[in-house]
C-alpha cells in the first residue's frame, strides 16, 4: 500500500513539473515561428530574439527589435514588423519604411514604437504591407512565416 501511495505522489510531482514547464515555455517572450515549406524545399522560419519592452504605444518611445530568418533567399525576402497598441497592429517603424532587410547570416534588426506585443512577418519582396491591421495575416501568398511575441515587462 505504501509503495502505491509513493508512486501516486511521484506521478503528481512529475505532472506538476510538466505543467510548470509548459506554462514557462508558453509565457516565454522568445517564441519560435510557425514554419512554411519554402520553394527550395527548406523550411522557412522567422524568430524574434531581441524583444522590446511593452509600452502604451505612441510616437515618442522606440526600441530596437531583432531576430533571424532561415530557409529563404535573403535578397528576395524581407521582414515586416507590427506592434500591437490600442487594439490595432501598426506597421513599424513607419508606413514610409515598412521593410527590414535580412543580412547574409539571416539576421535582421530595426526600431519599433512600443506596444504590448510585436509580430515579425517574413515576406516576399512583392508583399504590400498595410499601415494598420485588425488581425495578423496567416501564412499564405506573399507571407512566408509569422511570429508573435509579448513585449517585455
Give me the helices (H) in 92-139, please: none
60 pLDDT band, cuts 50/70/90, is confident
Kindly state the helix (H) or strand (E) to which residue 84 belongs, with its residue range. Answer: strand 77-85
Q: Locate cell 504605444: which residue? A: 57
29 pLDDT band, cuts 50/70/90, is very low
- Residue 107's contacts (CB-CB under 8 Å, 6 or more residues apart) are 66, 67, 68
36-150 belongs to which CATH class? mainly beta
- Dist. CA 15–CA 77, nearest whole Å: 43
pLDDT digits (tens, 9 = 90+) for 134-150: 999 999 999 999 999 99
Q: What is the model's pLDDT at position 42?
A: 59
9 pLDDT band, cuts 50/70/90, is very low
The three cell numbers locating residue 73: 533567399
Rg, Å, the chain Cα set: 19
- Dist. CA 149–CA 107, nearest whole Å: 17
14 pLDDT band, cuts 50/70/90, is very low
- Residue 130's contacts (CB-CB under 8 Å, 6 or more residues apart) are 91
The overall average pLDDT reported for the chain is 81
**pTM of structure:** 0.73
Amino acid at each position: 500500500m505504501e509503495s502505491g501511495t509513493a508512486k501516486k505522489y511521484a506521478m503528481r510531482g512529475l505532472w506538476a513539473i510538466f505543467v510548470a514547464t509548459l506554462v514557462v515555455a508558453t509565457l516565454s517572450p522568445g517564441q519560435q515561428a510557425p514554419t512554411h515549406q519554402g520553394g527550395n524545399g527548406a523550411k522557412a522560419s522567422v524568430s524574434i530574439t531581441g524583444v522590446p519592452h511593452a509600452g502604451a504605444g505612441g510616437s515618442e518611445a522606440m526600441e530596437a527589435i531583432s531576430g533571424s530568418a532561415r530557409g529563404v533567399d535573403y535578397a528576395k525576402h524581407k521582414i515586416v514588423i507590427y506592434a500591437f497598441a490600442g487594439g490595432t497592429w501598426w506597421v513599424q517603424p513607419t508606413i514610409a519604411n515598412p521593410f527590414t532587410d535580412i543580412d547574409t547570416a539571416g539576421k535582421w534588426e530595426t526600431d519599433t514604437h512600443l506596444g504590448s506585443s510585436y509580430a515579425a512577418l517574413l515576406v516576399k519582396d512583392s508583399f504590400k504591407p498595410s499601415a494598420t491591421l485588425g488581425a495578423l495575416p496567416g501564412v499564405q501568398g506573399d507571407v512566408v512565416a509569422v511570429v508573435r511575441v509579448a513585449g517585455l515587462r
